[in-house]
Structure 1
Amino acid sequence: MELAAQVGRRLRKLREERGLSLSELARRSKIGKGTLSELEAGRRNPTLETLYAITTELGVPLSSALCPPAVHAEISGGAVDALLTDRFEDAVAVTETYRVRIRAGRTQVSAAHAPGTTEHIIVLGGTARVGEVTAPLLIASGRHGTWAADVPHLYCAPADDVDAVLLVRYPV
């Protein structure tokens, strides 16, 4: 639960820095006020989908809720387990590197991230269906792909588990 407490403190700080009430952030992110309150208090583990919804509305990359100091933080969603392994920031963009596993037979749809955000995947094992919901890519082991992440996008492992490296690049 230590990660949940760290994430909760970070989310509260980010929200307060932007002058948003708990109710306003809940409304904008479409996350229940009670859920958001429990997350900020560290009493609830956040899902990948929930963190993306909140950080998108706060206008920050996902890793901003995890760092500092939680590089190597693992979070999960409906189909994806993601381990943040690195975060690089320069004057142009914030780039996050994740080691991901997409669970077999599962699909996860992610809401649009901040404008200009892109995602890049290298599939290490399995075959993934990823990318924009309207035109997903089928990427086999040893291959890679890129898509716009500022529109709804998905992650799917049609057969076996998929292991991959995912880079998410947010423009500054």
Structure 2
Amino acid sequence: MSGPQGSIRSMLALNLKRVRARRGLSISELSRRSRIGKATLSQLESGTGNPTIETVFSLSRVLEVPISDLLDTQRPAGLRVVRGEDVEVLSGEGVDLRPLQRIESGEAVFEVYDQQFRAGERRDSPGHVGIEHTVVQAGRLDVAVDGEEVELTAGDYVAFDAALPHSYAAAEGTVRSVLLLQYRTDQRLHPSTPHALLDADASPGA
């Protein structure tokens, strides 16, 4: 995940261009599918844009790749400690995310985030790739998935197909939680090679 070796902005700029090229999409076509303006996409690819959670999740959904394929720097080796204060925050509507780690195990890939919902605000998502897991650490969180609603408190867990429309709302005060996004390895363009380490002239993937 993004960290001291690369900011979210710089890693998204690097990886977005490569993923888009491997999908065979022009900026105009990606703009049409994602409903993100061409000027905004150009800024993101040049590293001058200001990505939000909504933007990154929309690109993940349209390009059909995990978030980490857009934000990852390199795969960790050995002991790794991630200090929350050192991780760049990716902010969006009602929520702040800190990307902590990507874990590959067998046919599954997990992305681990520290997730904080701002008091009195709501985050809506039309859906994206993967399975979403949330564990509430503090506060009261309202979760709606495809019309079904549930309330979570500290210690509660919820999981669902992230392709379904879903929303979160901090029902009472600020809510702290851990978010895990789960993918199949075949949902990644290059399951064994981090995008940040790929050569720019590598041949397109499937």
- TM (norm. structure 2) is 0.77
Contact residue 128 and residue 158 of structure 1 kept, 8 A: yes
Out of 16, 19, 25, the residue aligned to residue 20 of structure 1 is 25
Q: CA deviation at 1:69?
A: 3.8
For structure 1, which runs of at least 5 residues remain unmatched after alignment? none
For structure 2, which runs of at least 5 residues remain unmatched after alignment? 1-5, 77-86, 187-206
Alignment of 1:21-170 (within 5 A): 21-69=26-74, 72-114=87-129, 117-170=130-183
TM superposition outliers: structure 1 runs of 4+ over 4 Å? 70-73
Evaluate the alpha carbon distance shift between residue 90 and residue 73 of structure 1 in structure 2; reply closer, same or farther with a 3 A threshold.
farther
Please provide the CA RMSD for this pair.
1.9
Q: CA deviation at 1:133?
A: 4.4
Number of positions where the alignment pairs a residue of Structure 1 with one of Structure 2: 170
- TM (norm. structure 1) is 0.91
> In structure 2, how many angstroms separate the alpha carbons of the residues matched to 1:120 and 1:55?
17
Q: CA deviation at 1:159?
A: 1.8
Q: CA deviation at 1:170?
A: 1.8
Q: CA deviation at 1:91?
A: 4.4
- Identity %, equivalent residues: 36
Larger Cα Rg: Structure 1 or Structure 2?
Answer: 2
Structure 1 counterpart SS, 2:69: helix
Larger RCO of the pair (alpha carbons < 8 Å, separation 6+): 2
